Structures are given as C-alpha cells and as structure tokens.
A and B are shown apart, each in its own frame.
Chain A
C-alpha cells in the first residue's frame, strides 16, 4: 500500500515537473496572442471534439476493419479505461478497438477513440507494454494535439457571431472547414505524423499515466526497443509518422532515471496478458 502510494506520488510529481517547462515555453512563444484568443473551453468545444473524433475514427475504420474478437477487445478496453481514469479529461468517454491489420501501430482520434493494431499486440510481452502504448495514444487525446493543431472548436450561435455573418456575408463556411480538418487529421495519423514535441510529450505523459495506474513504467520503452529492430511494411507507417525509435527510447529512459521510476516495481500482469492474447492469431 505504502509502496503503491510512493509510485503514484513520484509519477504525479514527474508529470507536473515535465509539463512546467512546456507551459512556460508556450507562454513565451505566444507573446503575440491577444487576450481574446485565449483558450476558453466550453461544452460545445468538447462536443465538437467528440464529433470530430468520431469522423476521424470512421475514416480509420474505413481503412482497416475491426479485429472481431470480443473478449480480446474487452481486455484492451479494461486496460485502457484503467489508464483513462488517471488522466485529466474525465469528461471524455474513451473507446478502445483492435484493428485487423498486421501493421504495427496505434492511433488516437480526438474525443477518446483509440485503436491498436493486431500487429502491435503480437509484439507485446506483458500488460505493462500494452498499457504504455495505450497511454501514449490516450495522451494525444488528453493533450489535444490534433484539436490544437487544427483549432477544432464548437459552433458559435451568439448574437455577435450572427452579426458577423451578416456583415461578412458568410454562409456555412464552418462546415467546409470541418471537412478540411478531418482530412488533415487523417493525414497527420497516416502520413505526416504529429509534431515532434507532441510525440515527445505523449511518451512522457504515457510513462507518467502508466505509473499512476500502477503499471511498470518501463513498458513502453521495452516495446519500442523490440519493434525498433523490425524492418518492412509492417512498420512503414509508424516509421513515417513518428520520431526515430532510438531517440524516443533514450528520452523515456532519461525521464525514468531522472524521476526514479526505473527503480519502482510496477505490475506487468504478464500471465493475464498471455491468457488474453490466446485469442490473437
């Protein structure tokens, strides 16, 4: 019990410590930003994020079919929802699905839609590694990487907005912009990738969230080390859309070392993982 409390404390401190420089840097970089443009999130923004994520998720499912193994999908949701409880987005309902492809990758759409491929599951050894990968994707959602990059916001039906539409002669241009944004989001997932700093933030957040949920914090690094030796089409998309494995693994290990997470024994739940993977063919 006390050991578990220590793990959570370390992980929480690590997460806050890691976030602070980013927040300070963001403030310096945005000195052009005016007060009116500050981030004010409303329920319509969250609804827009979810609707947008649903559209992106539909595109992902248009590319890959669902791996129809209900028990395995239920297991992945169990792990994912455990992680999601330790994030800062309680308003989102996360959904986890397995994609029927041998590609080694995982995807996240805004609003809480997370996908992991059959190929990726096949290279994992324990539940901590699965938790690390899912936590990385959850971090893309909770940190709003796509939402911020594409400025996804809710619609504005205020009187001011109505006047603006009359003065400017605008019609339903927001709908066209929405469709454009979905295309760009799909491009980010399959072609261009996230910004390097967003991937780095997702890795660090994944380690922190995994530790907070009680998992061995080194799961993600172990998994990345294993798949870094794979060549071929299975890793084509992940190679194109992510930073080099070596750099990612080194950054994760540096963080774990600095926060003392490497010496903390988190659970791996290998037996449960192996039992669940019996459905994986």
Chain B
C-alpha cells in the first residue's frame, strides 16, 4: 500500500476535487457561455482558452478581472454508519485577470488564472453513528475535523500573430503552481475509555512547473471560426509530505513520507467552433480532451476524459448582453470498486449550466454571472469494501469587469 493511501485508509479524504478537470469556469465572457470559448477568445479571457484569438481583440488595451464565489457540496450516502456525510467546500477569490496590448505586428498578453480552488473547514460530531465500531464495541461519539486548502495557479505571458486575415496563431507560457494542504483529526470513542480510535493526519503538496499552450484560430468562411489549443503541465519540482499518527486503543503507529517524484499531467486538447450569426447573436461549442495518465507513485490512475461545452451570447441592446451555456465535467477516475487498495475515491460525472448578464458602456463592461452543476455517482471513502452513493452540487457567482482604451 503506498503511503498516500495511508492518509485515507481510515476515512478517505480527497484532496479537493482532483477527480475532474473542469472545476472552475474561467473568464468574464467565457464563464457565462459554459466555457465554450476556444473558437472565440477575442478578448483578455481568450489568453486562457486559445491565445491565437487575441489577434482579433477589438480594443487596444484590454483587461478583465473576475471575482468569484465558489461552493461545492458532496453528500456521501450512508458513509457514517447509515448516516450521510456532507462535505462543503467554498472559496471567494479573484480567479482571473488578463491584459492584451498591441506590440508591433503582434498582440501581447499576460494573464493570471486560478483554475481550481477549494477550501474546506469542517468540524462535525456524530453521536452513536449506526454500524461504526472500534474493537467490536459500538462507537458512541465520532468527531471529525478537517481543514483542506487547495489552489492551482496559472500565470504567464502570451503572444499572438496574424498569419493571414483568416488564420492566427498564438502561444501562452503559464507558470504553474499547485498548493494543497489538509489536516485531519478523527476520534472515535466507545463506552470503554481504553477502546478508542484516533487518526491525526497532515498532508502538503507543492508543485511548480510550466504549462505551455499553443493555439490556432482559423476562419474558413465569414462568420465561422474554428479554434484548437493544446497544452500540458510539466512539473519542474514537486514536494509531497505526509504524516499520520494512528492510535487504536492506546497503540500508536506513526507514518511519514516525503516524496519529490513529479506527477505526470494529461495532455489537453481543446477544439471549438463558433458561429457569429449576427452582430447580436453568437453560438459556440467546445470539446476538451484530456489524455489518460498514470502516476503509480501517488496511487493514481486517471482515464482519458472528454468534456463538452455549448454556449450562446445574445445582445439585447448596445448596453446589455445575455449569455448562457451548458458544460460537462466528467470524472477522470475509473469506476469505483469494492477493493480499498485499488478503488478510486470517487467516480461521478457532473453536468452544469451557466448564465451571465453584462452591461456595457463604450469603454467598460460589468458582468454578473452564475453557474450550477450537479452529478450522481459512487464513492469509496471508508476502509473496507463499502461503496457509497455520492451526489455533488456546485454553484458559483461571479462579478467581473473589462476595460477597453
């Protein structure tokens, strides 16, 4: 059993949502359109989806800023005896900033994106949880406290050039950083003082690397835009540290590990199409493919994933626009099994929708957006062979602005 599963052996705690690739929608316009932006990308948000698109940005100097509140709730049915266990993660942060500037014949950009973020801080006590025992004795009180913080940062420059009036290419070089820390305390007490279980675990992970992205945008005919962007994270350094102290009825077992192995990340290919039907109405669709990736040191085996997004934008007037979108966030894990040694922690496919409304002046826009997602699947988060039904519900609210000079 690898060290990582030791942390989770008593009560599996996932490291935020590592099981999906599309957890946060990024960008002012894009997030209202379900993220279907690869073939549009003609503003500061485009730096994240397809840098080739900024060639077609209409203003001279653009910037966009998004401040968003995220909330994700996971309900594990019958996880604590016959009771459900609910985990809630939330964060409030500025998750995107980008700026585009002409540079001679090129367009230069710089952006910052938080592509994943979670903050969990739970303190729960369950009395007489059904079916839970220690040393054959029923548990009278089960206390679980944990704090989990996880964030993924992308920051870096972009450069784009127009090859012909119908073809543009671009590149973004993100510097990538992932920080994760979780602290877990579990205590199970019984009617007998000497019969108890205690689990104290501490885990940190810091990864630094680069995420280069190459993008192409092509308009074979007027009003139709096709875009492709390819990217992959390459880690330059990785530090993973874990410590766990298990105490079962007075007998303590301390485990530690320190690993510098670098994770492999999947190759990501985004392809999109956008139809600029009229000056008021735009339709777009994206497909994002993530390759299969194995990280045996970390006990991870991720399957290939394809996510789909559909989006539309409609201008009610010169001053108001409405956007809507649908998106998928499919699981990157194989199906859950009863084997605690090999089963992934969860497998749930998530589906969602988004909407936003923008008001414009000549130089600026302000956008209020929201999205909701939900999914049903299975989880294996307890020791033993039990599988739990899992429901996830997520929602976000964002407020963003753009400038054009």
Contact = CB atoms under 8 A, between A and B. Distances in A.
A156 B276 contact: no
B56 A32 contact: yes
A168 B222 contact: no
B222 A160 contact: no
Contact of A160 (B60, B282, B360): B360
Contacts of A156: 361-364
A37 interface: yes
A234 B366 CA distance: 51
Contact of A34 (B67, B223, B315, B403): B315
Nearest to A36: B360
B75 interface: no
A43 interface: no
Given A36-B321, A37-B58, A168 B65 contact: yes
B280 interface: yes
A267 to B, nearest CB: 43
Contacts of B200: none
Nearest to A169: B65
The secondary-structure label for the interface of chain A is: helix
Contacts of A38: 279, 318
A19 interface: no
A29 B162 CA distance: 14
B59 A151 contact: yes
- Assign chain B's interface to a size class: 35 or more
Nearest to B222: A31
Contacts of B225: 32
A170 B403 contact: yes
- Assign chain A's interface to a size class: 20 to 34
Contacts of B58: 32-33, 37
Contact of A163 (B60, B222, B366): B366
B362 A164 contact: no
A230 interface: no
A163 B317 CA distance: 20
Contacts of A153: 362-363, 405
A144 to B, nearest CB: 14
B319 interface: yes
Interface string A66-77: 000000000000
Interface stretch (B228-236, B342-350, B394-402): B394-402
Given A161-B361, A161-B363, A168-B65, A35 B59 contact: no
B186 interface: no
Contacts of B401: 163-165, 167-168
Nearest to A45: B362
A219 to B, nearest CB: 35
Contact of B402 (A29, A155, A164, A181): A164
Nearest to B221: A31
Interface of A: 28-29, 31-38, 40, 42, 45, 150-151, 153-156, 158, 160-161, 163-165, 167-170, 173-174, 177, 180-181
Interface of B: 42, 56, 58-61, 63-65, 67, 165, 222-223, 225, 276, 279-280, 282, 313, 315, 317-319, 321, 359-366, 399-405
14 contacts: A29-B165, A34-B315, A35-B317, A36-B319, A156-B364, A160-B364, A163-B401, A167-B366, A167-B399, A168-B63, A168-B401, A168-B402, A169-B65, A177-B61
